[in-house]
Amino acid sequence: MKVLKFEERTLSTEKIFTGKVISMQVDEVELPDGKIAKRELVKHPGAVAIIAITAERKLVLVEQFRKALERTMLEIPVGKIEPGEKPELTAIRELEEETGYRANSFKYLQTFSTSPGFADEIIHLYIAEDLEKVDQPAASDEDEFIDVLEVTVEEAEELIANERIYDAKTVVGVWYVKSLQFD
Helix 153-161, helix 168-179: angle, nearest 10:
140
Beta bridge partners of 63: 74, 147
Q: Is the dihedral of CA 72, 125, 169, 133 positive or negative?
A: negative
| DSSP code at position 140 | P
| DSSP code at position 84 | T
Instruction: Give catalytic status of residue 142 as yes or no.
Output: yes
**Shortest CA distance to 113 belongs to which of 103, 105, 123, 104?**
123
Beta bridge partners of 123: 47, 112
Residue 111 · residue 121 · CB < 8 Å: no
Beta bridge partners of 113: 122
Active-site residue among 56, 70, 142, 163?
A: 142
Contacts of 144 (CB under 8 A, 6+ apart): 64, 98
The residues carrying an active-site annotation are 142
